[in-house]
Amino acid sequence: MKRTEKSPLRDTLARNMRLMRAERGWSQEHLAAEAGLNRTYLSAVERSEQNISLDNIWKIARAFGVPASRLIDSP
């Protein structure tokens, strides 16, 4: 898997994903199933190692039941 340089926005997305999963008591496997994505891909996204498309941000937001903007909002 090709790794890209980390960015502050990807760090924010990763943190928000981990927090939302923890709030719901979800594993990465559960989120992957809900979003229709691969667990290893989500793991790399949560480590800010994988670039992510808008389509996949939308899938993750839909799985969480939140607007996509919530995933990239800074606290």
Place of tokens 């939302």: 20
Predicted local distance difference test score (pLDDT) of residue 3: 57
pLDDT tens track for 29-71: 999 999 999 999 999 999 999 999 999 999 999 999 999 999 9
Predicted local distance difference test score (pLDDT) of residue 75: 74
Predicted local distance difference test score (pLDDT) of residue 5: 67
Residue 1: pLDDT above 70?
A: no
User: pTM value?
Assistant: 0.90
Distances in Å between the Cα of 46 and the Cα atoms of 22, 31 are 12, 12
Predicted local distance difference test score (pLDDT) of residue 68: 97
Question: What CA–CA distance (Å, rounded) separates 27 from 72?
Answer: 20
Tell me the domains of the chain and their CATH numbers. Answer: 8-72 (1.10.260.40)
